[in-house]
Structure 1
Amino acid sequence: MIPDIATLYDVSEGTWPPERTWVEGPWTLRDGAGGGKRVSAATALGEVDEADVVQAEAAMQSIGQRSLFMIREGEEALDALLATRGYDCIDEVVVYVAPIDLLTDQAVPRVTCFSIWKPLAIMNEIWASGGIGAERLAVMDRAKVKTGILTRWNEKPAGVAFAAVHNGVTMVHAVEVLTHQRKLGVAQWMMRAAAFWGAKQGAQHLAVLCVADNKPANALYTKLGFTRAGTYHYRQSPE
């Protein structure tokens, strides 16, 4: 059975974990330690009102984080409440999932992809070229069952990705292909390599997150046979 969107939200957190997570009132709060929106955003545990939002704002500000909320499917009331408070809507993300054997039907060409942890210097350099620095590398390191994937193309380094497993799902994050190696099939082989690696860990499904505005990546995942499971976006304070 294909995991539902609620399960995949949980997989996302399990494979890309905050430094600290705690419950305060009707919220799950996160200390991302500079690792980006996904590990820093507050999420609601149920219905909330304006006083609850003020409580969450104070908690986030107390640890030096900008007020930021993740809005998941079914949370239209929270979305509207934050909009009335002047919060900006940013970064709609599409969640894709596929049976893992859908991506293991073709062998990855020899010396194309390598599963490596801890990352080599060249992997960190490629991630850094896409804005993925030490704080996000620390997020990766916190995941329990994980690997980095280094891809070579035309006998040169081409791209990197991070994959981790949670509750039977391998989720791929931080896909970065060097500019001069794009449109050559590199990302496809990385996804297939992640599927082979995940299958060895006992995973039954492969998932990936993609910003809705990234049309080439969305087209790739659709072409590979991924199913669109759902979406989420953020509301960020304008301060």
Structure 2
Amino acid sequence: MDAALAQAFEATWPAAEYADAGGFRVGRGLGAGGRVSSARALTGWKDSDIPEAVRLHEQWGQPPLFRALDDDAKLIAALEAQGFRRENPTAIMEIETAALTDRDLPPVTAFAVWPPMAIQREIWSAGNIGPARQAVMERVEEPVTSILGRVADRAAGAAFVAIHQGVAMVHCVEILPGLRRKGLAGWMMRQAAFWAAENGADRIGLAVSRGNEGAVALYRRLGFREMAGYSYYARSAG
């Protein structure tokens, strides 16, 4: 994962605030999930910085959580030595924007809309992307948009897209359960690519849980390549 993709990954889904604890940068997520509520290592971190990051998490009232790239063996070993265990392995994937703008969308299938419509917020909420996660979208710097997807003359899907330094990142792709497996997610990704191209982005990235095998397969069929992987590290509730 090159620097531009790494920076877009962070900038397009920001925490409410950040604070450094030794050699770790900790996000205050305000209930918006692991991406924005985790600590990530900075250059020069030490094993003794891990408890300092834990204290900051606790001060903010959120469970201690770290995010580590799959190839960061040193950090993973240090976290495991202090009782942290791997959760939710995730892939970071990307594709050139032009690879998704090679065909026209079917009429009234997908649209770029900002701010999101009420029906999009309902679709996100139905998929556990509630107000706390939706609040993350509001603090991302422009250019940003949402994608509305339609099937059988009804709203069926929603996604969020933001651009940072020429890289568009897609977040929160959600399709209503009864309207999945109809190809809508693929058309929504193509609409995201058309919008990204219009706003100067030459590639598109996203993060997808490896456990979501259907989504991983879709992105691979579209031509996305895996560029990196990461997991969260948490202590067991017991």
Moved more, 76-85 or 189-198: 76-85
Given that 1:96 and 1:226 are in contact with CA atoms closer than 8 Å, whether structure 2 keeps it comes out as yes
* Aligned match of 2:37: 40
| Residue 138, structure 1, aligned to residue 135, structure 2 | yes
> Closer, same or farther in 2 for the Cα pair 1:237/1:56, shift >3 Å?
same
1:114 pairs with one of 111, 114, 117? 111
Name the TM-score, length of structure 1 as normaliser.
0.95
* Aligned match of 2:66: 69
Given that 1:168 and 1:202 are in contact with CA atoms closer than 8 Å, whether structure 2 keeps it comes out as yes
| Residue 169, structure 1, aligned to residue 184, structure 2 | no
Instruction: For residue 5 of structure 1, report the CA deviation from its aligned partner.
Output: 4.4
- The aligned runs of 1:75-94 (5 Å cut-off) are 75-94=72-91
Instruction: For residue 116 of structure 1, report the CA deviation from its aligned partner.
Output: 1.1
1:210 is paired with a residue of what secondary structure?
strand
Output the CA distance in 1 between the equivalents of 2:91 and 2:71. 15
The amino acid that maps onto 1:24 is A
Output the CA distance in 2 between the equivalents of 1:30 and 1:126. 26
Give unpaired runs (5+ residues) of structure 2.
none
Output the CA distance in 2 between the equivalents of 1:67 and 1:7. 28
Given that 1:161 and 1:176 are in contact with CA atoms closer than 8 Å, whether structure 2 keeps it comes out as yes
What is the number of residues matched between the two proteins?
236
Output the CA distance in 2 between the equivalents of 1:218 and 1:96. 9
2:95 pairs with one of 98, 101, 106? 98
Output the CA distance in 2 between the equivalents of 1:19 and 1:172. 19
* Aligned match of 2:214: 216
Instruction: For residue 7 of structure 1, report the CA deviation from its aligned partner.
Output: 3.3
* Aligned match of 1:147: 145
* Aligned match of 1:180: 178
2:48 is paired with a residue of what secondary structure?
helix
Residues 50-92 of structure 1, C-alpha deviations (whole Å, 9 max, x = no match): 3211111111111111110000143211111211222121011
Given that 1:5 and 1:230 are in contact with CA atoms closer than 8 Å, whether structure 2 keeps it comes out as no
The amino acid that maps onto 1:21 is Y
1:54 pairs with one of 31, 51, 54? 51
- The aligned runs of 1:22-33 (5 Å cut-off) are 22-33=19-30
Given that 1:173 and 1:208 are in contact with CA atoms closer than 8 Å, whether structure 2 keeps it comes out as yes
* Aligned match of 2:10: 13
Instruction: For residue 142 of structure 1, report the CA deviation from its aligned partner.
Output: 0.8
Ranges of 4+ aligned residues in structure 1 off by more than 6 Å? none
1:50 is paired with a residue of what secondary structure?
coil
Percentage of matched positions with identical amino acids: 38
Give unpaired runs (5+ residues) of structure 1.
none
* Aligned match of 2:189: 191
Output the CA distance in 2 between the equivalents of 1:106 and 1:65. 45
Instruction: For residue 222 of structure 1, report the CA deviation from its aligned partner.
Output: 0.7
Name the TM-score, length of structure 2 as normaliser.
0.95
